[in-house]
Amino acid sequence: MKNILLLSLICLTLFACKETKKKNNTEKTTAVAQAEIHQELYGSWVGDFLDAGAESYEGGDYDYIKKLNIIIKKITKDTVIAQSIVSGNNRPLFGKMSEDGSKITFVLDEPGTHKFDGRFEIELVGDTLKGKWNAYKTELKWPEKEYKLIKRQFVYNPDLMLPSEASYVDWNDHKFVEKLDTLEDGKIDTAAMDFYRSASDQIFKLNASAHVLKEQDLKNLRKLDLQILKNTIFARHGYAFKKDTYRQFFDPVEWYIPISSNVDDQLTSIENKNIKLIDRFTKYAEDNYDTFGR
């Protein structure tokens, strides 16, 4: 009987110690947790990612235009948790916010596990985040970047279309053709010309998110037309394109906001049906190559 009482007393003592330790750990965790501040800054901040000193883009070459989205997720006194999306790269950001009177600045670091990871130094100026980015690896001689970001909310809209005033030429895919000319003195001159893929105006008329497409809609389209129609679906959902061919088309578009590396579960039944049809025609489609001044 005494042994049973002694064993019961030991069990009660151990249980009490465990509960006390658990309570102390809970109180300690609660005490350390910091309140979130400046929640009005949470969300996506979007703008062009420029080489330092470039005020704007000129000309029709879109292969060097990059759109940056910095998503601020949490701000406390000691920590900022965010995310950067640019050129198809989706990177977590961690850092701090500083306040000096009405001046708010951020220093946000990418993890450093990617070759081109670096640091964002940002200042809030009115309703704009302005700053610079530099790669950690100085030996890469990667140019310093500048950006001016405006807060924007991503909203899926199946009716969004590419702007018809833009030219859709794939500057990353070309054919090199040599042309022979006979000069007046009888000599042969060789001239080299580049021919690039181009899209037709059908990409402004067909919407693969809002309407079920038919075979007759696609049978005479160029391969690039089909690729643009398909990827406009993904662009409407905020897909972050890795391939230069598609980024050159969508990064300059005002409504496009890169938000995710995978949007497959966001596609509608209409979009999934159209993608299957487009893929079937793309397999056998041909491209139109032409010359363009650059």
Q: Is 214 exposed, middle or buried (0-12, 13-18, 19+ CB in 10 A)?
A: exposed
pLDDT band at 135 (very low <50, low <70, confident <90, very high): very high
Residue ranges of E strands in 110-187: 118-125, 128-135, 145-152, 169-182
- The label of the residue with tokens 């700053």 reads 131
Domain ranges of the chain: 39-152, 169-290
pLDDT at 20: 53
Residue 111 has pLDDT above 50, yes or no: yes
Report the alpha-carbon distance of residue 270 to residue 112 in Å, rounded. Answer: 40
pLDDT at 186: 62
Q: Give me the helices (H) in the chain, please.
A: 2-32, 215-218, 223-236, 244-250, 269-282
Residue 39 has pLDDT above 60, yes or no: yes
* Overall size of the chain counted in residues: 294
Q: What is the dihedral of CA 276, 281, 285, 288, to 10 degrees?
A: -70
pLDDT at 283: 95
> Which amino acid makes up residue 99?
E
Per-residue DSSP letter, 78: S
Q: Looking at domain 39-152, does it have CATH number 3.40.190.290?
A: no
Residue 8 has pLDDT above 70, yes or no: no
Summarised one tens digit per residue, pLDDT across range 71-97 is 999 999 999 999 999 999 999 999 999
39-152 and 169-290 in the same fold: no
Instruction: Provide CATH code, domain 169-290.
Output: 1.20.58.1690
Please tell me which residue, 147 or 3, carries the higher pLDDT value. Answer: 147
pLDDT at 288: 85
pLDDT at 188: 64
- The answer to which of 76-85, 211-220, 251-260, 285-294 has the lowest mean pLDDT is 285-294
Report the alpha-carbon distance of residue 140 to residue 19 in Å, rounded. Answer: 55
Computed over every residue of the chain, the mean pLDDT equals 87
pLDDT at 60: 42
Residues 6+ apart with CB under 8 A from 234: 241, 263
Mean pLDDT of 163-186: 78
CA-based nearest residue to 253, from 43, 16, 62: 62
- The answer to which of 96-100, 208-212, 267-271, 288-292 has the lowest mean pLDDT is 288-292
How far CA 36 is from CA of 27, 42, 82, in Å, comes to 19, 11, 14
Residues 6+ apart with CB under 8 A from 217: 206
pLDDT at 166: 87
